[in-house]
């Protein structure tokens, strides 16, 4: 009985140690909140990472640490390009970006970032038909531009544990996962809906544990058209409960 009591007390103390970071002394942190308000005032109400879209920033106040953000659309609508555009702005803001691509090879994703960074026509870049001026600007840009860091993780298999390992290795400020529904489930669920739900729950926990935003893409089911849909139309709809923001 004594041993059980000691174990219970140890577990209680461990749980308290793991959750104490959420405890807040209201009176003792009043000056900190005022200083944060002044910073928010200076940044026009945006206290997270900005996007290229002022209307979106106004609605969300930017992407914040510990948030799990879903980008949802039907297949072929442009989810990947949107994450590329978001990440490109993060890079040029000096952030360290970790980008997981589950739908296309990493070299193709890198080429998209070349097009964005050096203002190249993407179709000409793919075909090798850039004009001389574009080629010269690209070469000069590579030598002079000093953007933030971008690490692209290719189509290798792995689940949320794999994402966590890469976060530990590269210490990013923000993470993108293009095609979260193609990831492996670390919990090895058999049913497709349960697999996606497990991935979503684990991804949300990872965002909170790592203290950084994680932006992931997922598809609408067949009941949603290309312009309308709500959280009930997300493939594996229960994952909407885990998201802080759904675009």
Distances (CA, A) of 45 to 59, 62, 174: 10, 9, 20
What are the pLDDT tens digits along the chain (247 aa)? 899 989 988 887 787 666 556 677 888 889 988 998 888 888 788 889 999 999 999 999 999 999 999 998 888 888 999 999 999 999 999 999 999 998 889 999 999 999 999 999 999 999 999 999 999 999 998 888 877 899 999 877 789 999 999 999 999 999 999 988 888 888 888 777 788 888 889 999 999 999 999 999 988 766 556 556 566 666 555 777 888 999 9
70, 216 contact by CB (below 8 A): yes
Which has the closest alpha carbon to 212: 244, 178, 179, 241? 244
* Lateral strand order in the sheet of 97-101: 150-153, 97-101, 174-178, 214-219, 68-73, 245-246
150, 109 contact by CB (below 8 A): no
At a CB cut-off of 8 Å and minimum separation 6, what does 138 contact?
A: 114, 118, 120, 130
Instruction: Give tens-digit pLDDT for 105-126.
Output: 999 999 999 999 999 999 999 9
Reported pTM: 0.81
β-strand pairing of 150-153 with 97-101: parallel
Distance CA 29, CA 231 (A): 37
- Estimate to the nearest angstrom the gap between the alpha carbon of 72 and the chain centroid: 13
Classify the C-alpha dihedral 230-173-81-181 as positive or negative. Answer: negative
Distance CA 118, CA 137 (A): 7
**Residue the block writes with tokens 């793919």:** 126
Distance CA 16, CA 208 (A): 17
What's the pLDDT score for residue 8? Answer: 87
Measured at the alpha carbon of residue 80, what is the angle toward residues 79 and 84, in degrees to the nearest 5?
Answer: 120
3-state secondary structure 13-62: HHHHHHHHHHCCCCHHHHHHHHHHHHHHHHCCCCCCECCCCHHHHHHHCC
Distances (CA, A) of 134 to 125, 150, 218: 10, 23, 34
**Residue the block writes with tokens 């998201």:** 243
Instruction: Give tens-digit pLDDT for 29-67.
Output: 899 889 988 888 887 888 899 999 999 999 999 999 999
Distance CA 117, CA 113 (A): 6
């Amino acid at each position: 009985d004594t041993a059980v009591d000691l174990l219970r007390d140890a577990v209680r103390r461990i749980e308290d140690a793991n959750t104490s970071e959420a405890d807040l002394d209201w009176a003792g942190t009043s000056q900190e909140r005022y200083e944060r308000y002044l910073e928010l005032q200076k940044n026009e109400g945006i206290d997270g990472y900005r996007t290229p879209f002022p209307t979106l920033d106004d609605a969300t106040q930017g992407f914040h640490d510990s948030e799990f953000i879903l980008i949802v659309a039907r297949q072929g609508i442009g989810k990947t390009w949107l994450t590329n555009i978001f990440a490109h702005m993060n890079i040029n803001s000096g952030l360290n970006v970790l980008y997981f691509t589950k739908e296309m090879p990493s070299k193709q994703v890198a080429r998209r970032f070349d097009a964005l960074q050096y203002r190249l026509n993407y179709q000409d870049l793919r075909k090798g038909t850039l004009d001389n001026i574009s080629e010269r600007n690209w070469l000069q840009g590579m030598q002079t531009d000093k953007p933030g860091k971008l690490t692209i993780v290719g189509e290798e298999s792995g689940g949320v544990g794999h994402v966590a390992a890469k976060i530990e290795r590269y210490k990013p400020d923000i993470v993108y996962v293009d095609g979260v529904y193609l990831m492996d489930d670390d919990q090895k669920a058999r049913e497709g809906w349960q697999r996606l739900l497990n991935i979503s729950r684990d991804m949300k926990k990872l965002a909170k544990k790592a203290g950084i935003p994680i932006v992931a893409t997922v598809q609408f089911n067949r009941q949603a058209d290309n312009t309308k849909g709500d959280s009930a139309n997300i493939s594996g709809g229960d994952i909407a409960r885990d998201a802080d923001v759904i675009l």
